Structure 1
Amino acid sequence: MAEIEIDLKRFPTASGVYLMRGEDETVLYVGKAKNLRARLRSYFNAAGDGRGQIPFLMNRVHRIDTMVTDTEKEALILENTLIKKYRPRYNINLRDDKTYLSIRLDPREDFPALQTVRRVRRDGALYFGPYASGSAVRETLKEIYRIFPLRHYPMATCRRRGRPCLFHQIGQCSAPCHGRISREEYRHLVDGVVALLSGRESEVVGILTERMRQASEQMRFEEAARLRDQIQAISATVEKQKVVEAGGGDQDVVGLHREGGEVEIVLMFIREGKLIGRRSFPLEWRLDEDELLAAFLKQYYSRDVVIPDQILVPFAPDDTDSLAVWLSEKRGRKVHILAPQRGDKVRLVELAARNAEQSFRERGSRREARREVLEEIRQRLNLSRIPRRMECFDISHVQGSQTVGSMVVLIDGEPASSEYRRFKIATVDGNDDFASMREVLGRRLRRGLREEDLPDFILIDGGKGQLAVVTAVLDELDLLGRVDVAGMAKSRVISNMKGRVVERSEERFFLPGRKNPVVLRQGSAALFMLERLRDEAHRFAISYHRNLRGKNALSSALEAIPGVGAARRKLLLKYFGSVKNIRAATRDELAAVEGLPARTADAVYRYFHEDGHS
């Protein structure tokens, strides 16, 4: 343990947060406690507190700071905020930080529409999900529109059309934009969608059956036939869904499996008694399971995700009460965290645990396969170590303007999107890829030295020239030998006199100090992994460049209009959808935008129609 002088008596006995800092003031760990002095004392007991990672942590601690709070809930919120800010090395890290899709519907609108979103907000709208993939959402929406034809596009956009869109023609939109359905009739459709997405299919079927009977008695046979088809479609959809006996309601069920320092957590999503999906989180963790579970719940639900009525856990962590209060306030309704002891809910937790174990086994098989591929890369490219963390860099620009750089990361052969970075080139003018690459690499590696977070292997999209730049930067920072590097040159195409491809050479890898390139076997897993890394860096750079160009085009189109600032640009784009639609809008349509002063609306119209900017 580090030789540090810590007087535990100077720490308060109140609730709060503690930050353990290293020699360079880097925050190594953030924790919270009901009693700060008692909690910190456990780290300095002669026998330790039984957690395997504590010696590794305490050997690096040089100072401990504390922040006192009035309540445990405040400490929990502050701890979460500080973890997001500092990203401490010894706190839990949910590497898989993608947010699943949800379906949003705002019932306050005259003609509500369905939206797919990744962020769940407290904005008065209804949210359904989460859904495990885009294809799952598309399949759900496809069924809904076939049964309940809600609108697909913004009302303002559709009203500018001379006739209803194609979705109306195929029966998947009721065309409220052209007055083909009344507000009352449309509201019936919305009520059906809400009931269906909430899992109340029997209620929907009952309502539709009664409306079908009334339509038939009144000899409105076309309407009765349409209602009959809706009932049949709902019945077919329900049969595809898996039902679990959990007493109904919305629940998230946590399953946990641990072997040594590796942990697999599975989260099963149950909505109205139906299992709609699951999600797994692989973690490295050596502290106790109580702290692990509490940290997982705090990190996962701090995001913009759907919070259910109940969260079922295998055991109740010490933070259960404060977690439940925090989640209830975040959701706006009561949330229960339960560790069931008997009945259907226990069986659900056991099912989640079996899923976690199975996910761990499957990941282990995949991990072994990836390790073999990484070992092949190490041998073929003569690397000094297995490249567990691989980074690839790319530069993108158009004729030297708006040059950007990208960095993508593979960790143990899997993309780590939370580690991706984008760079705006600040010190290079014009078209100079070598100088741009030097700036990007210098910024990345200097930060890595400060944070002790360096890659094992850097792959550059380019040949000998780009490789020389990387080698020079590594030499300048005294990193030669600590970070391996290779340049990946694109395959060369040989064409005949008519321009037709007759031969495509293999990808070539250039290494420092070696004249001839290395060629990996075509179709090999090692080559595929490196090609995927290179292509992802290229895609990431291009997407960033296009985003900047789009913003620049938007600025040049709207910023010149007097009275149109950032807020009003956002308002116009939200209402019309694009600059093209703003340009095509009439004076009356611009004046109808709520929140846009008449004088500004007139200025926008004159800019596009009278001042020669059309």
Structure 2
Amino acid sequence: MNTKMSVLRKKAMSLPLLPGVYIMHNKSGEIIYIGKAVKLKNRVSQYFGSQNNHAEKVRRMVDNVDDFEYIITDSEFEALILECSLIKQHTPKYNILLKDDKGYSYIRVGVGDWGKISYVLQKKDDGATYIGPYKSSYYVKSAVEAANKIFMLPTCNRRFPQDFRKGRPCLNYHIKQCMAPCTGKIKLKDYRESVEQALDFLKGGSSNSIKQLTAEMEQAAEELEFERAARIRDKINAVKRMSDKQKVVSNKVLDQDVIASFSNDGKTCFQVFRFEGGHLFDRESFVFDSGDSDSETEEFILRYYTIRNDVPKNIALDRDFDGAQSVGEWLSQKRGSKVNITVPQRGEQAQLVSMCRSNAAEALAQQKGATVREFGVLEELKDTLGLSKLPEYIECYDISNLAGAENVAGMIVYKNGKPFKSGYKKFKIKGFDGQDDYASMAEVLTRRFKDYYSADDDSQGFGKLPDLILLDGGKGQVSAVKQVLQNMSINVPLFGLVKDDKHRTRAITGEGGEIAINSKRALFTFLSKMQDEVHRFAIGYHHARRKKNTFKSSLTSIDGVGEVRAKNLLKYFRTIDNISKADLAELESAPKMTKDVALNIYGYFHPQSEDENLADNI
């Protein structure tokens, strides 16, 4: 907590209600944040009030503020221009800073007769042929991948002709995406022809490529080279299929940029789709710490077009923001003509924005080791239960016993929508004997959160608070555990998973009643799998304990073997089978074993041998 908060707030409350730029400094005098405001007093005072509504990034920034200064401007637009200039000059730590790493890309044709086609970000003096430069790495990568597939060119690391016949063809050969020169059966003439056709495709586009290939096919047919004509025909069909996949999104799509974002757990990803002539010709993705959501879109747009010289005529966004008018004016000035900023609500433009946002979610999910589908079902769970944040870390509990015997519990963990098996835990119920699922669940959660308060590391295991707790059971289990959480001051959402007569997940229950999930297919499948997994884990532990105790009971039936000695024997020999196969000397060497008891154990598993030993003794 910033000790100067009251002083800073008092200073902020004295600011004028005028547009301007504010500059935050830390104790070293370093500029750590620059912002603009229509009314300086209202905006700056928000930072030094209650911190509950601020994002983590903003709270960190405020904790480091030692002082601030401000510059009054005549208008919001002037404040925006000044803000952009100052941020570019000082690059403050807590502003959105985007690197201008949009280098040029090249198409590379390898050295030699069997050279391969690839895309690279740098041109080297290595004797290879380079085509370019191109501004869009996305376009070059997509085009080269398409050309290699259509013309069945190799993309592996094998070198030709050195690696001829040194291994089997890879999967690409079997799915007809590579002619497999590695087999040594491809003529150099045919390979070079495919390379030249691929380069014509990359240089001239699909329509020119089809025209040229068609002419070559007709010429081959006239010369009665029907096999070659058939191969060219297949390439024409492949080009057409690829063209259909990469066809114009719509004739109504303007030359424009589409910008959308997705935020979760302190991170935000902005995705930019760039369209030209109805084609998606480039896309970019940026991930950074989340800040103030109200101004984040505005700040991103300003930073993005500061590092980009080409501003499109139209920009479609997934949300509106307060400074849209002044930002539009700034972009129009930068472009030299009017720029239209829209937030489409329906039609194809809205679909493009939705697609862009889905890609932003996918990019953020991949950073967290999840997929957009897994993030999607977590979003659905969040909305269904009315949670304040995405439940990325979920703990689920189940009780297992047989008529009150061997009463145990299992806890499983789902992290980012997937089982996190290193987080699984087993519990043996210790507080009582007999069957009481409510008391068992209460005991397990009490022990779990006692460990939470005593844990040193708060990033994993019992030292980490879950985002959501699910119980295999109904209102009774939820009520029992709710009391535990309240007594221990644990503020974590709690719900139960209710099953039907056929032991299938039917609904989620909480204090407010049951929530049906049958109509929500993805969520239903997700929770059903989770409930099946925790049941499997708990009952597996129960069966293991029953089996172990069954073994123990068989040992305790031997004269001289009690609970402690049976436990020591199992610990020493690990299994009953090993005990039964041990000779007398091995049994005598076990911890805390006497010769008489060892003889009793040996005789129990070898009754005939014992009679022989007795006869020998007589």
TM-score by length of 1: 0.43
Indicate the structure whose relative CO is greater, using CA pairs within 8 Å and at least 6 residues apart: 1
Larger radius of gyration: 2
